[in-house]
Amino acid sequence: MSRFSDLGGKLYRGEVSYDIVGHRKLWYSVSAALILLALVGLLVRGLNLGIEFKGGAEFYVPSTSCTIQDARDAVGSAGVEVAAVTEIGSENIRAQTPTVTQEEGQAVVAALATACDVSADQISSRDVGPTWGGEITRTALIGLAVFLAALSVFLTIYFQWKMAVAALIALVHDIVITAGVYALVGFEVTPATVIGLLTILGFSLYDTVVVFDKVRENTKGITGQSRYTYSELANLALNQTIIRSINTSIVALLPVASILFVGAFLLGAGALKDLALVLLIGTAIGTYSSIFVATPALCQMKEREPAMKALTARVLKRRAARGEAGPAMAEVPSGTGGASAAEAAGGLAAPVDRKHRQNRDVSGRVQPKRSTRSKRRS
């Protein structure tokens, strides 16, 4: 743990740096492969929509001895396709099927009563129409549109519009991949899934805003210096916040993973499984996109600005004149406390000779070395 915290300190101070922004083509390739795989899942396999979205029937069996497999076999023996069978609490079994006729419903009830050793009167059933699922979907889409619109306005005011665009790119990236994984694994999409999908957008946005806030701090007054490009200072911001992002993600993923693997697979709680899977995938993808998609995309847009192009040209010219291959990361301004990039870079312009370092005042200027009093008297 101490080594991990020491690495975080070195990353923040710029003593150790990983060129994340400089390898953006690699991260774009990884994201493109994931998105392609997700689109194949969505277009070929499609989402496994629950009966709340496509309609069907539900049968509730109060039994402590009946298992999920017993109920599944009973429904199949009645000649009805099984959509899903889950345990509700510790004393109820819920069997979901496509829409059935009255005769088919009575056959399913009789089969479940025999298999689970209960009377037919104890088994309750209901028909579920697709209207409820349609209303949930429509409300979720409206909520998503309002959220994205409000997000764009907020980020444009608080940061700038290019940061808003980069954040939206990361959010769309997260939604597509999460939905594609759901399609590939075949998990049932329920209202809980939709709620979980909206929840992960907030997590992804939070992580992105933390990084962008540090990018803004590092690049304040960037055109007033000629030592570092926008991408280099943005990459420093990523290195300074990456440990925080990883720690936050681990803390969020551990309870979600426990819900998924313990609550769903061991205890058989289907509703928990629907919610936990989307949170697990979305949190992991959201962390990835905040680091490897949002900031590189922002840098790519910013580097196209005339002012940033001119800055890059000055930086490269200065390094060529000095014979430097690239920035010395140990000298990159870090933790400047809101100082501009020009001021921070100016304060670290060049190593100071030991002989003259002691003569610097607090402003960084070299003061003339005064002679001793005995020499002045002579």
| Continuous H helices in the chain | 2-13, 24-40, 51-54, 68-77, 102-116, 130-158, 161-185, 191-218, 230-258, 270-289, 295-302, 306-322, 341-347, 354-357, 373-377
pLDDT tens string 313-362: 999 999 888 887 666 544 454 444 444 454 444 443 333 333 333 444 43
Residues 237 and 122 in one domain: no
Is 213 contained in some domain? yes
Q: Which of 282, 302, 322 is a domain's end point? A: 302
225 with 98, same domain: the answer is no
Q: Could you tell me the residue range of the domain that residue 185 belongs to?
A: 7-49+132-302
- Of 25, 11, 6, 81, which Cα lies nearest the Cα of 332? 11
Per-residue pLDDT of the chain (378 residues; tens, 9 = 90+): 445 556 656 665 656 678 899 999 999 999 999 999 999 999 998 888 877 777 888 888 887 778 888 888 888 888 888 777 877 766 788 888 888 888 888 899 999 888 888 888 888 888 877 766 667 778 777 877 888 888 888 888 988 899 999 999 999 999 999 999 988 988 778 777 887 887 888 888 888 988 999 999 999 999 888 899 999 999 999 988 888 888 888 888 888 888 777 655 665 555 677 778 888 888 899 889 999 999 999 999 999 999 999 999 999 999 888 887 666 544 454 444 444 454 444 443 333 333 333 444 433 444 444 545 544 444
| Within-domain flag for 37 | yes
Residue 363 lies in a domain: no
Last residue of a domain, one of 259, 274, 302: 302
pLDDT on residue 103: 87
Q: Which amino acid makes up residue 109?
A: V
Least Cα distance to 190 among 84, 71, 61 occurs for 84
> Encoding tokens for residue 227?
């030592």
Same domain, 250 and 278: yes
Whether residues 189 and 213 share a domain: the answer is: yes
How many independent structural domains does the chain possess? 2
User: Do residues 199 and 273 share a domain?
Assistant: yes
> Could you give the C-alpha distances from 131 to 134, 196, 275, 304, in angstroms and in order?
5, 21, 21, 48
**Does residue 330 belong to any structural domain of this protein?**
no
- What CATH code is carried by the domain that includes residue 197? 1.20.1640.10
Q: What's the rounded Cα separation, in Å, for the pair 243 and 71? A: 48
**Residues 178, 293 share a domain:** yes
Among residues 228, 248, 245, 244, the alpha carbon closest in space to that of 334 is found at: 228
Residue length of the chain: 378
At 188 the three-state DSSP class reads strand
Mark whether 32 and 107 lie in a shared domain.
no
Residues 78 and 169 reside in one and the same domain: no
- Which residue among 248, 277, 302 closes a domain? 302
148 and 235 co-located in one domain: yes
Nearest to 180 by CA among 30, 44, 27: 44
Q: Is 361 a domain residue?
A: no
Q: pTM, whole model, 2 decimals?
A: 0.73
- Together in a domain, 206 and 80: no
Residues 287 and 272 in one domain: yes
Q: Is residue 217 a part of any domain in this protein?
A: yes
Same structural domain, 178 and 241: yes
Residue 277 lies in a domain: yes
Phi, psi of 59 (to 5 degrees): -125, 125
Whole-number pLDDT of residue 327? 65
DSSP 86: E
In a domain, 343, yes or no: no
Instruction: Supply the CATH number for residue 89's domain.
Output: 3.30.70.260
